[in-house]
Amino acid sequence: MTREEFIKQIDGQVKLVRTEYGFTQDVMARVVGISKKTLVEIEKGRSSLGWTGAVALCSVFSGSQVLSGLLGGEAQDMIQALAFEDVKPVFPKTMGGKIWWETVETGKGWKIQQNIISRHYRALDDETGRICSSFSLEEIYQRLKELKEG
């Protein structure tokens, strides 16, 4: 998935999230930080939240079942995979992927998991700390190789 695909998917769920929370367009626009006119245009498919708006919406509505169902759990993992596509940050610990993740491969000191909905990957260390995440399994293997060599 690309950033553009992510944005398009989030744009398509704005009205459902608004309905899920019982917000009017006025309230939703204020919460997200956009004008009502822009919100109406997004809901009609004529405008877009863009990357920053999509990330903000996912953050503000992190408890949304609509977004969880669309993205396969919390949006944060997918957002980080897209945001850190060419960057190698040190991630905090995870809960180990008990719900939305299936283990693809396990090695000495690491395991690779794939999200069952979004299909993106992440590598975790033995203590469930996130090593990296990506939509490319090859990138995950490359990062693990770099860590082994480094």
Q: Which domain, by its residues, includes 142?
A: 101-149
The answer for residues whose C-beta is within 8 angstroms of residue 5's C-beta and 6 or more apart is: none
- Residue 22 inside a domain? The answer is yes
- Residue 52 inside a domain? The answer is yes
Each residue's pLDDT tens digit, 85-123: 887 777 666 766 677 899 999 999 999 999 998 899 999
Predicted model pTM: 0.63
* pLDDT tens track, the chain, 150 positions: 899 999 999 999 999 999 999 999 999 999 999 999 999 999 999 999 999 999 999 999 988 999 999 988 888 878 988 998 887 777 666 766 677 899 999 999 999 999 998 899 999 998 888 898 899 999 999 989 988 887
- Would you state the pLDDT for residue 43? 97
Considering the domain architecture, whether residues 8 and 49 belong to the same structural domain is answered as yes
- Residue 60 inside a domain? The answer is yes
Please say which residue of 19, 54, 71 terminates a domain.
Answer: 71
